[in-house]
Structure 1
Amino acid sequence: MVLLGASPAVAAGSGEALKIAVTIDGQNIGDNTVAVEPGEPVELAVTAINNGSSSIRVRSVRLSGVALALTFFSYDIMVPFDVPAGGRATRTLELDLAALNGQAIGLLPASVELLDSQRETLGSASTVTDVRGSIWSVYGVFGLAMLVLTVLAWAGALLALARHRLSPNRWRRALRFLPAGVGTGLVAVVTLSVLRLVPPEPVVEIPVVLGAAAIALLLGYLTPHPAPESVVDAPDDDFTMGLTTRQFDATTEGYSR
């Protein structure tokens, strides 16, 4: 389950047939962050405004939350109704948010959509939710998994650097550090969200991830050249002494003849 809201008469996106307004417990949401307490029922009222010349049939209402281009919670409610031409229609829904505790935590962008019988969007509104869920929710575990993978990526790259196992080519060394940089950016985005500082919206997450990736590439590019292979592959003294002795014996035998 999910909770979200938008100010009245929020304009629908390009190509959408309806404008919609959303209220929670009788209060307009506007641009404010919506606090969500899983387990507490909430009254969600959706008003659809039809400025067209023909009636529009709404089949269902979809509530969803998306971060990093991934949907972490989504719920469809079947509430068929018609919105008359030049008129409006309002439907009030009672939501049980208990399941949200295991789905998300922190600040997450969310949206409410009105769908037709083909599941095409007729109108939508968006907001940011402050979900008071568990760190062991789907979103929380996703962040922890990204943290572990990022630490492993940095450890692998730095260990290869310490052992002089990186490629002599600068760009290949840079690419070796790239996954660690991308992971660092993703972890930063999720952490800011879980700590309720910044929601993971595209205007935030894209610059953060790209910036971290660029820094990692630069670090990899500037790493020192690994030790020359000739030093590692140089023959040992016993082999050299054996080879010299054989050459000496062959030369002596030649003089004897």
Structure 2
Amino acid sequence: MVIEPGTVLASDDDRYVVREALAHDDEGTRYRARTERNEREVVLEVRTLGSRDPDEARAELAREVDLLETVSHPNVPTFYEAFPLETDGTLHAFVLVHEHLDGLSLETLRRQGRTLSPREMRSWFSQILGVLAHLQMLFTPIRMRHVAPSTVWIRSDRESFLVGLGSDRATERTADLRGLALTYLSVASSVSCAELDEAPLDVASHLPPDDALRDVIEAMLDPDPLARLVDAQAALDRVAQLRSPSRAPSPLDPRT
């Protein structure tokens, strides 16, 4: 399902003018859009039904909205609303509306060959680790399966965000921290997560010798799942005890 720029999608609360397509994956397509009411920039996540039964899809969306409304964290984009796309009573897709981030994903930065300073690496890693700690401590704990360079965004003010919350809830206890550790290695080494995920993984060979986070990353990627570090708050505490990296000029500017 392709939505052309200039198309207007309407909910009961607002009308959204599609500006451009941002990304496409198995879940659907993300578009940048602007509200007609107050001209606010937003992201529209359009989920097509595929082969799913419409009633089952509605029930799944309701559960996802309940989950998104549960999460309130400064490093998670704000969720605004969800609504169906219908024509003459026929359901085609669902639209989830999120806060728009003025920045770039770590995957985009990696592909552009952009280098982050040790301080910047520590900053985004700690911020996303804080999100995962928050999700794990909810009344119904959430573990994100798809933590990857494409789901970690750095805004133009250097704040980092985890996007893609929703139906992507992991069942494995180690999935979220393992994904975050692989993301760190991918950004540090410019090697894709898919390549890094091939066993055996030698963490030290993908990090500078003086990387202060190496021990934490190794613990999050321990080959033994029973020995692996899976508690995000415990990992965050370990990072907080490390000596802060020295300041250095940074080549990163997500706006360029």
Whether TM exceeds 0.5 here: the answer is: no
Higher Cα Rg, which structure: 1
Which one has the bigger strand percentage? Answer: 1
Give the TM-score taking structure 2 as reference length: 0.22
Structure with more helix by fraction: 1
TM-score normalised per structure 1: 0.22
Higher relative contact order structure (alpha carbons within 8 Å, sequence separation ≥ 6): 1
